[in-house]
Chains A and B, each alone.
Chain A
Amino acid sequence: MFLEVKDLSVDLREFKLKDINLSVEKGEYLVLIGPTGSGKSVLLETIIGFYSPDNGEIYLNGEEITNIPPENRGIGIVYQDNMLFPHMNVYENIAYGGRNKIPEEELEKKVKDLAKQLKIDKLLSRDVTTLSGGEAQRTSLARALIANPKIILMDEPFSALDITTRTKLRAIIKDISIHHKTSFIHVSHNFNDVWNLADTVGVMKDGKIHQLGTVSEVFSKPENNFVADFVGVSNILKGKIVEIAPDVAKIELENGTIISSSDTECMSKLYGQNTKNNVYKDKGGENDRKDEINDDNKVLIAIRPENIIFSKEKFQSSARNQLKGKIIDLIKNGPNILVKVDVNKVIIQGLLTANSADVLEMEVNNEVYLSFKSLNVKIIDKYHSFEL
């Protein structure tokens, strides 16, 4: 493991980081997301050495760096507001990053090469206070890169930039990440950073990492209702597992509606190897199953709105779940429309393009059928549900 953070806790009185565990491989791009105040920036600044942890260890390239001063860690940092030194011009800012590592005769060439790569070679004599947001951020990145850091930490580097600049900078950073095999930890509020840059994603709240995994894992299989809600799974429903078969579980919602889920991986996690074995043995043995299915089997299920198909009539499909409900609200969401449907007092939300909504004559109080595959019904670990 290139960077490893073990059981890290930091108490800043007004804020605490609790039992943080994460690891980043060489060349890996980790994006940390989470609401404001969740501790993402404090985590970065603890990894780089500006806060001393109360507990836990940090290893970089096999060496423990927990108590090493920041200047000896070899970790670079890029902030949202770039933190370019105002008393130095662009060249001096970049050169400052390499001045104590690179001989003076090589430094100029290195600054110019890097500036060219980041497309700021024409700005080298400019006063940093006259740079645009994108130019300043490229300069800041160049200053971090010239020191040849083992890993670069980025604290919301694009949040003050316009969409075009952001897109260009993402491409540059992706290129650096791939070609220089530089590891990144990138704090962001923007899911586009996740889609475009991340190999892995960490979701933080209240000083804890709630889920760390690949992008597809976190977005398609959130581990708890906070993660599900944060990554945009707006249908999080309470229910109880009432039947388990090898490939499908049936969940009874609070209103009595039965939903099928094929989230077998999560089922085995919830009920353990023993249950898994029993399920296979007792296939169809409903009497045996009832002993195991009790109030402890309460779960939360998550369905992404984009996985719900709407129709005016019931239709034959491979989707195991078909529910009838009444439209209670239609909310315009960019080019899409979020449709809220009351299914026997349980509200389920689905996403449609505006065009589809017109074709399907979606209007408040109209009845509609909702279909979704059991594969798209994710069971959220019952032991990790949080107040949203």
Chain B
Amino acid sequence: MRSKFEIGFIGITVFITLLFFLVIGSMFLIPSFDGFLNALFSEEMGFAISLTLYTSVISAFIVMIFSIPTAYTLSRYDFPLKSIFKVILDLPMAFPEIVVGIALLMFLGANGIGSFLESIGITFVFNETGIIIAQFFVAFPYAVKIMYSAFEGIDSRYEFVSRSLGYSQLKTFINVTLPMAKNGLFAGAIITLARCIGTFASVLFVGGGILMKTETLAVSMYLNLSTGDIDLAITSGILLVIISLITIAVMEKYIDNSY
């Protein structure tokens, strides 16, 4: 027999979960199945899917490369202004994604370093590189946050022991720290990938939202809603939900909670 406390808390959880399920499920209330299939196999959707996956995988990889040492540094070492470093890295999570987009546009555009980059033949805005940069800046703070928690959860004495056995800091990091943080690393990689796939506002600003050029799934949804092409918009939304579902399911399946 459950107590009133348990029944109350379980009731709230069930209510909220059902609410989320209904809201997400509404996305699948497509006007017509034929319209959905036509949209799914259209050239535009094919382009949006491949561009989204291609840029997101690259962004997620770059995010992981930089977020691992950053998170480890914040977790293990003390240095001046450390708390300010943490605030700066957390900041993009707190303000709207559109602000990241505008800030990146300012930095990479003509008012920032854009003129200089253009003079040496490099353009970072309104192209695929711009999309990757936007995805990186949006996803990086999340990855650092998850990885930081993973490293914080590992007692540094494991590393002490490894070093006392003759292993350098780098070898200890590879042999002990990374394998012990594998759950956090895996979760971080999945969340990062999902975040990169779903990035919208900053990708729209930095990538320019150009049809069949910088049109990711999220941007495609927005562009087609603007032009009234509901089938394409909803199909983009459904694909985003399916991709997210797969990533979360993979994460749940493979994360080993034994330690």
How many residues on the A side are at the interface (Cβ–Cβ under 8 A)?
26
Q: Is the CB of B165 within 8 A of A143?
A: yes
Q: Could you tell me the distance between the alpha carbons of A96 and B258 in the complex, rounded to whole angstroms?
A: 21
A45 an interface residue at 8 Å Cβ cutoff?
A: yes
Q: Known: A86-B180, A87-B179, A96-B175. Is A45-B160 also a contact (CB below 8 A)?
A: yes
Whole-angstrom distance from the CB of B143 to the nearest CB of chain A?
Answer: 22
Residues A87 and B180 in contact, CB atoms below 8 Å apart: yes
The residue of chain A having its C-beta at the shortest distance from the C-beta of B160 within the complex is: A50
CB-defined contacts of A97 to chain B, threshold 8 Å: 165
Query: A83 interface residue, CB < 8 Å from B?
Result: yes
Interfacial residues of chain A within 51-77, with CB under 8 A of chain B in the complex:
69-73, 75-77
Are A79 and B161 also in contact (CB < 8 A) when A71-B168, A101-B166 are?
yes
| Chain A, range 70-107, C-beta contacts under 8 Å to B | 70-73, 75-77, 79, 83, 85-87, 96-97, 100-101
Indicate whether A197 reaches chain B with its CB closer than 8 angstroms: no
Complex CA–CA separation, A229 to B175 (angstroms): 46
Say if the beta carbon of B259 comes within 8 Å of chain A: yes
A147 sits at the interface (CB 8 A)? yes
Please count how many residues in chain B sit with their CB below 8 Å of the partner chain's CB atoms: 21
Specify which of A71, A77, A83 is in contact with B167 (CB 8 Å cutoff).
A71
Q: In the complex, which residues of chain A have a beta carbon less than 8 angstroms from the beta carbon of B155? A: 83
CB closest residue in chain B, given A87: B179
Q: Which residue of B has the minimal Cβ distance to A45? A: B160
The reply to whether A71 and B158 form a contact with Cβ atoms under 8 Å apart is: no
Could you mark each residue 99-118 of chain B with 1 if its beta carbon is under 8 Å from any beta carbon of chain A, else 0?
A: 00000000000000000000
State the Cβ distance, B17 to closest chain A Cβ, in Å: 32
B158 contacts across to A, CB distance below 8 A: 83, 85
Is the Cβ of A85 less than 8 Å from the Cβ of B176? yes
A351 at the A/B interface (Cβ < 8 Å)? no
Write out the residue numbers on chain B whose beta carbons fall within 8 Å of the beta carbon of A86: 180, 258-259
**Most chain B beta carbons < 10 A, residue from A48, A71, A77, A85:** A71
CA distance A218 to B168 in the complex (A): 39
Task: Encode contact with A along B156-188: 1 for CB under 8 Å, 0 otherwise.
Answer: 011011111111110100011001101000000
- Given A83-B155, A87-B179, does the pair A147, B166 have CB atoms closer than 8 Å? yes
Q: Does A196 contact B (CB under 8 A)?
A: no
Q: Which residues of B contact A50 (CB under 8 A)?
A: 160, 163
The answer to whether B259 and A69 touch across the interface, beta carbons within 8 angstroms, is no
- A147: chain B residues at CB < 8 Å are 164-166
Interchain CB contact under 8 A, A100 and B161: no
Residues in B with CB closer than 8 Å to A125 are: none
Q: How far is the CB of B183 from chain A (nearest CB, A)?
A: 11
Instruction: Decide if B168 touches A83 in the complex (CB within 8 Å).
Output: no
Cβ of A129 within 8 Å of any chain B Cβ, yes or no, is yes
CA distance A270 to B179 in the complex (A): 59
Contact B164–A71 (Cβ < 8 Å): yes
CA distance A97 to B162 in the complex (A): 8
User: Which residue of the partner chain, among B160, B171, B175, contacts A70 with CB atoms under 8 Å?
Assistant: B160
In the complex, A69→B167 CA distance in Å?
A: 10
Residues of chain A lying within 8 A (CB to CB) of residue B171: 100
Q: When the two chains form their complex, are residues B180 and A48 in contact, meaning their CB atoms are under 8 A apart?
A: no
Q: How far is the CB of A94 from chain B (nearest CB, A)?
A: 10
Question: Once the chains bind, are A100 and B166 in contact (CB under 8 Å)?
Answer: yes
**Cα–Cα, bound, A270→B163 (Å):** 46
Chain A interfacial positions (CB closer than 8 Å to B): 45, 48-50, 69-73, 75-77, 79, 83, 85-87, 96-97, 100-101, 129, 143-144, 147, 149
Chain B residues close to A by CB (< 8 Å): 155, 157-158, 160-169, 171, 175-176, 179-180, 182, 258-259
23 A-B interface contacts by CB (under 8 A):
A50-B163, A69-B169, A71-B166, A71-B167, A75-B164, A77-B161, A77-B164, A83-B155, A85-B176, A85-B180, A86-B180, A87-B180, A87-B182, A96-B162, A96-B165, A96-B175, A100-B167, A100-B171, A129-B258, A143-B161, A147-B164, A147-B166, A149-B164
Known: A83-B157, A96-B175. 16 other contacts (CB 8 A): A49-B163, A69-B168, A70-B164, A71-B164, A79-B161, A86-B180, A86-B259, A87-B179, A96-B162, A100-B165, A101-B166, A129-B259, A143-B165, A144-B164, A144-B165, A147-B166
